[in-house]
Amino acid sequence: MPSLLHLDSSLRTSGSRSRRLSADYVDAWRAANPDGTVRYRDLAADPVPHMDEGVYVAHVTLPGDLTDEQREQRALGEELAHEVLAADVIVLGAGLYNFTAPSTVRTWIDRILVRGITVGADGTGALGGKTLVLALASGGGYGPGTPRHGWDHREPWIRHVFEYLGLTDVVVASAELTLARESPAMVPLDLGHAEDQSLAAAQELLVAHAATV
């Protein structure tokens, strides 16, 4: 039975483009996989706490060497890592916050690297064969030719983390210029039409991909 893990991280509870895109993907995936299962986690509403030293050490210790205290310290990490491991498709909705991913995505990623589950004893990642779908939104535009091309550190960072974990099949759909109608600096640029086009193109890409997996 196919399985999908759906994650959102926008701090917005209304008007979020990344939430809309991730939901569009999941709806299309459900239609294509009526027997599939979906697990949902909202990283903004239910944030994963930062690690401390004990939690980190427990995460990098092999299961056979764990103390009882360390087993407790990595219980949340094990739960999150198993969710990822159980999924064929991982859909992550994320805005661009100060040129990178929301910090809630960062704390989640810190916890899903668990020795003996997602990272083998020899350091090999266990997520090969899975697909990662990034449903992204950004207030500005970061494509080739724009003044801030290369300033979006979110997508390359997420790609690198998942490549380290063995996952290389990454699909990216990005709604850009989402502040075109809201930001005083952007309103005079009259980019509302481009914002709509970007959102529509991202939705089209996601719905088409969901029908194929």
Ligand X SMILES: Cc1cc2nc3c(=O)[nH]c(=O)nc-3n(C[C@H](O)[C@H](O)[C@H](O)COP(=O)(O)O)c2cc1C
**Which spans of this chain sit near ligand X (rule: CB under 6 A)?**
10-12, 16-19, 95-99, 137-140, 178-179
- At its nearest, how many Å lie between ligand X and the CB of residue 1? 30
- At its nearest, how many Å lie between ligand X and the CB of residue 132? 17
- At its nearest, how many Å lie between ligand X and the CB of residue 99? 4
Between the CA atoms of 79, 33, 7 and 73, what dihedral angle is there, to the nearest 10 degrees? 0
Residue closest to ligand X, measured at CB: 95
Is the CB of 77 or the CB of 139 nearer to ligand X? 139
- At its nearest, how many Å lie between ligand X and the CB of residue 145? 16
Is the CB of 78 or the CB of 176 nearer to ligand X? 176
Distance CA 148, CA 134 (A): 20
Q: Are 24 and 101 in contact (CB under 8 A)?
A: no
The angle subtended at Cα 119 by Cα 117 and Cα 123, nearest 5°, is 150
Distance CA 84, CA 129 (A): 12
Distance CA 62, CA 117 (A): 9
Is the CB of 18 or the CB of 203 nearer to ligand X? 18
Residue matched to tokens 């060497």: 65
Is the CB of 17 or the CB of 59 nearer to ligand X? 17
